Structure 1
Amino acid sequence: MTRALLLALLLAMLLGVATATGESPGITLPAGFRIEQFAGGFGAPRFMTLDPTGTLLVSTPRQGRVVALPDTDADGRADAVLTVAADLDLPHGLVFRDSWLYVAETGRVRRFRYDPTTRRGHDPTVVVQNLPPRGGHWTRTLAFGPDGRLYVSVGSSCNLCREGDRRRAAIVRYEAGGAGEHLLATGLRNAVGLAFHPSTGELWATVNERDWRGDDQPPDYLTVVKNGAFYGWPECFAWRGKVVVDPEFRGSAEVCQRMTLPTVELQAHSAPLGLAFYTGRQFPPEYRGSLFVAYHGSWNRSVPTGYKVVRVPFGGDGRPSGPVQDFATGWLQGGHVGGRPVGLQVGADGALFLSTDDAIFRISYRAP
């Protein structure tokens, strides 16, 4: 062991962190945690869900597929890559309801009768049709609420514009069968991640704000989503707890008076995507109930930011109880990008799955 390596290991011990081993060198996590590659080489994974048996399912938009990644021997590595559904139009969000697998394509939502034995989807049915397709933000994310309704996020078609379709830059609610369209919240430029709080039943979202206003404005954000709320885009944005009218919409002060401020402002250009409340029991007690968020990372900031997974501690009242904390870092080193976090999913055994632009990783814990 070299003197430099010894010093690095001693420093990690003193700081109470552990450097990942195995498949993911260079990723730093709190002490006792480790990150290993679970699967890769099957396309560009995006969002994930678990089937009724606990098998991980992943969308691969560019390949037009949803795949299953069984780990039958429980060794922390996928045994196979099985096609659940193919020939899809940019599939992104996935969610199960009863025996149905719901898949969000860019212009519609379909559900498939799912066979957990073969891990195949059958008998596709269009549930929501004629969603605004593609555009600047083509991903569609899904979540089922405790009310049994389906929630769909639709991003804006542009960086900064007034949309012709009110369902753009919004979250829309439907009955499980697709009827009863209701515009839940608007002014959300690109709400990529959706998750319901396990205790309060409130909907939370990650939102990517507009570009080309400098390195630090406007902030991206994490917010509880309120029925009927307007979150500002495109006319205004939040900055340090106050409403700011965008200079391109100076005549919109009256509109901005009804803007709802986000719950947590995040560093601009972090690009928060997937989020997951930790409902498992493998991690230490202080992590239970926390919200994990994947930062995809910046592309137009003079000093790059993001490229990590953060943790937001939550209290018993269902609200953040402390500042945003780094959880998994190291994908950005010295200006070199080694990976871009995308989606998060708590596994059946309490491990945390993370998708990046080219692989799936599994974060587990063992007491040091």
Structure 2
Amino acid sequence: MLNEILLTIAALQGRALAQSCPSLSASYPAPSVASGYEARLVATGLTKPRGIIFDNKNNLLVVERGVGVTSFTVSGTGSCVSLQNKKTVVGDNTLNHGIEVSDDGKTLYASSMESVLKYEYDSNGQSVKGDGKVIVSGMTTEDTVTRTLLLSKKKKNTLLVSRGSDENIDLSTVDINNGQSQIRIFDPSKSDVDYEQGTTLAWGLRNAVGVAENPKDGGVWSAENNADNIERDGFEIHENNPAEELNYHGIASDADNPLMNRNYGYPLCYGVWNVSEIPSAGTLQVGQQFAIAEANATTQDAFCRNDREAPRLVFQPHTSPLDLKFDSKGENLYVSLHGSWNREDPVGYSVSVIKFGSDGQPTEGSTSTSALTPILGNSNTTACPENCFRPAGLAWDRNGRLYMTSDSTGEIYVITKSDGKALDASAPSASAAPSKGYSVAGVVIAALTTVFAYFL
């Protein structure tokens, strides 16, 4: 009799788990997940999903290129997440990457290559009222198309907008008034401000797609996608140089910020990754900057070292960091690496984490080549970029789970600690159960009660 009871319990447990944890499968090999973490595919069939964010009702908002902004309601516990009730919030096929939402859930911001738009948003109905209002304009470029948005949590009415270069090596950006390869600050309550009228936080950034504010101290960080096909003194060095960069811009809300308006090197100076492949490297070290002037580039290295702001950390070239998200204590910075497109041996295609210390800075030094710890990646990068996922946007939900979009495959993943525990255990609602959805434990307990009632 006891064996029958145990067999029945096992069957009901399996059925409960299957019902409460919907399973989606991808067309490529299962991802590689680091020990101590879980990752689950929770949405498929999207159109090039890029930036994502959760509103104050825990609805997931997604920028789909060629579509606009769509939304999902979220249900489930742990990693057993279900995205439901998809609807179009903004039908504008020019929106392509940036997205932000105010803390009160009443204002939605989104970006196209040309403009930043503001919408009157209702988080209860996941809808906007009327058309979007242009608040920043004049950003069109021939090359980079993403315009990353960041609403400061430390200073009200402060919107940071990152804009890239007009070509791979855009020499016109040596002029700060060019308005490209920069992060500028805007007051989102104003309308139709030309990008070049914004306050310059940083320039000399080829394409700083990832931008984040550390909740601990308000420090602003950016992840720079560096130039391709670099040469130095007539030699091609682009396979392993220049490095992708993590740059620090100080505290934007600080009127005395010493890093305000600093130049980070582009298009004259680039971060070192592999010293041995740089001609006449001299005393150059990983993390320093080197010059690529057409003649006697080595004589310009001193200029790059003394007159340009060096990166705080460097990453392997061609990994293409696209998004940055701190946890709620500012102890971990998560990075989505979109991956290479023109490297002989593909690299990137993962989500990694950088440890930060109590001083608001990375624990690794600027010469480190191991600051990134991968937690989710493709198990077979040799098939990339054609047959693998490519991480793009990152977002936290109220339960401390991290979501990742893959634009190449039209998917969304959720990342947690093992057993579905919150990745950000200090998030305000990380320990609270979601308001909707199945609870695996609840279903199993109910099943056990039924079984024992029957046999007793």
Residue 316 of structure 1 deviates from its aligned partner by 1.0
Task: Please give the alpha-carbon distance, in whole angstroms, between the structure 2 residues aligned to 1:331 and 1:220.
Answer: 23
Can you give the 5+ residue segments of structure 1 that lack an aligned partner in the other structure?
Answer: 1-20, 281-287
Larger RCO (CA within 8 A; separation ≥ 6):
2
- 8 Å Cα contact 2:287-2:310 kept in structure 1: yes
Structure 2 segments unaligned to the other structure (5+ residues): 1-22, 231-237, 250-258, 273-285, 365-370, 421-456
For the structure 1 residues 79 and 182, does the alpha-carbon distance in structure 2 shift closer, same or farther, using more than 3 Å as the test? same
Which range moves more in the overlay, 231-240 or 175-184? 175-184
CA-to-partner distance for each residue in 1:173-198, whole Å, 9 max, x for gaps?
A: 11122467211110000000111001
Q: In the alignment, which residue of structure 2 is the partner of 1:308? A: 350
> What is the rounded CA distance, in whole Å, between the counterparts of 1:331 and 1:298 in structure 2?
16
Partners of 1:67 and 1:340 lie apart in 2 by 20
SS of residue in 2 equivalent to 1:79: strand
Residue 329 in structure 1 maps to residue 329 in structure 2: no
Q: Which residue number corresponds to residue 173 of structure 1?
A: 185
Report how far residue 30 of structure 1 moved: 2.8
Query: What one-letter code is carried by the residue in structure 2 that aligns with 1:154?
Result: R
Kindly provide the CA deviation profile for residues 263-316 of structure 1, in whole angstroms up to 9, marking residues without a partner as x.
101000110111111228xxxxxxx72001011011111111111111101111
Q: Displacement, 1:154?
A: 0.2
Spell out the pairing of 1:135-214 with structure 2 (5 A cutoff).
135-145=142-152, 146-148=154-156, 149-163=158-172, 166-178=178-190, 181-213=198-230, 214=238
Q: How many angstroms apart in 2 are the aligned matches of 1:356 and 1:260?
A: 32
Is it true that 1:81 corresponds to 2:133 in the alignment? no
C-alpha offsets along residues 23-62 of structure 1, whole Å, 9 cap, x if unaligned?
465222233422112212131100111111011101012x
The ranges of structure 1 where at least 4 consecutive aligned residues each deviate by more than 6 angstroms after the TM superposition are: none
Is 90-99 or 121-130 further displaced after alignment? 121-130
1:341 aligns with 2:350: no
Distance in 2 (alpha carbons) for counterparts of 1:123 and 1:133: 24
The answer as to 2:297 corresponding to 1:292 is no
CA pair 161-78 structure 1, distance change in 2 beyond 3 A? same
Greater CA deviation, 160-169 or 96-105? 160-169
Alignment correspondent of 1:247: 293
The root-mean-square deviation of aligned C-alpha atoms, in Å, is: 2.3
Percentage of pairs with the same residue: 27
**SS of the counterpart of 1:46?**
strand
Q: Which amino acid aligns with 1:242?
A: Q
Q: Which TM-score applies when normalising by structure 2?
A: 0.70
TM-score, length of structure 1 as denominator length = 0.86
Write the distance in 2 (CA, Å) between the matches of 1:355 and 1:258. 38
What SS does the aligned partner of 1:184 have? strand
Deviation of 1:72 (Å): 4.3
For the 8 Å contact 2:403–2:415, the answer to whether it is kept is yes
Higher-helix-fraction structure: 2
Distance 2:295 2:119 in 1: 44
Q: Residues 245 and 271 of structure 2 are in contact (CA less than 8 Å); yes or no, is this contact kept in structure 1?
A: no
1:135 and 1:38 mapped to 2: Cα distance?
A: 35
Query: 92-101 or 42-51: which moved more?
Result: 92-101
Change (3 A) 1:126 1:189: same
- Letter of the structure 2 residue corresponding to residue 159 of structure 1: N
Number of aligned residue pairs: give it: 340
Q: In the alignment, what sits opposite 1:238?
A: 271
Per the alignment, residue 362 of structure 1 pairs with: 414
Q: Using the alignment, how far apart are the partners of 1:245 and 1:328 within structure 2?
A: 34
Counterpart position of 1:272:
321
The 3-state SS of whatever aligns with 2:81 is: coil
Q: Which protein has the larger Cα radius of gyration, Structure 1 or Structure 2?
A: 2
Relative to structure 1, the CA distance from residue 181 to residue 362 in structure 2 (aligned partners, 3 Å threshold; closer, same or farther) is same
| Structure 2 equivalent of residue 47 of structure 1 | 51
